[in-house]
Amino acid sequence: MKIKYPKKRLRFQLIQACIWLSFGVLGFVFDTSLVFTIGYLILGLLHMVHYVFEKSKQYLTIDNGILTRNKLTPKSINLNKLIQIKKIAGDYLLRTHHDELRINTAFIEKSSLIELDKMLDQINLIDEIPLDMQSSPP
């Protein structure tokens, strides 16, 4: 299951890419400074790559009980090992014994947010074991 970015965010990324690319093309047409022209083209290409990445990967992916926040360096958390789900100022904070993942709900499309809320409500949390009880018996 994919939790999608809002269409407005993706559209903004695409518009930014087109603007920077057009500055670069106009720089070649009007024979302006090569440094700025190449800079605009590189900036436009980076924005285009960012748009394609976000459009294809989306914000979150849930597959086989693993929730992954898709970024350049993705972060994953096993939903079967969650000990805490906190909702702080509209965002989610998911914790296991070893990992923590923050989900910014402003980056989620409304229909996907409803799906995510339902899915997180269905998760059975593992009871947290106090540190003094985690050691093996004598």
One DSSP character per residue, the chain reads: -EEPPPHHHHHHHHHHHHHHHHHHHHHHHTT--HHHHHHHHHHHHHHHHHHHHHHHH-SEEEETTEEEE-SSS-EEEEGGG--EEEEETTEEEEE-SS-EEEE-GGGS-HHHHHHHHHHHHTPPPPPPPPGGGSSPP-
Q: How high is the pLDDT of residue 133?
A: 45
Compute the average pLDDT of residues 53-62. Answer: 95
User: pLDDT of 70-98, one tens digit each?
Assistant: 999 999 999 989 999 999 988 999 999 99
- Output the pTM of the full model: 0.80
Q: How high is the pLDDT of residue 127?
A: 64
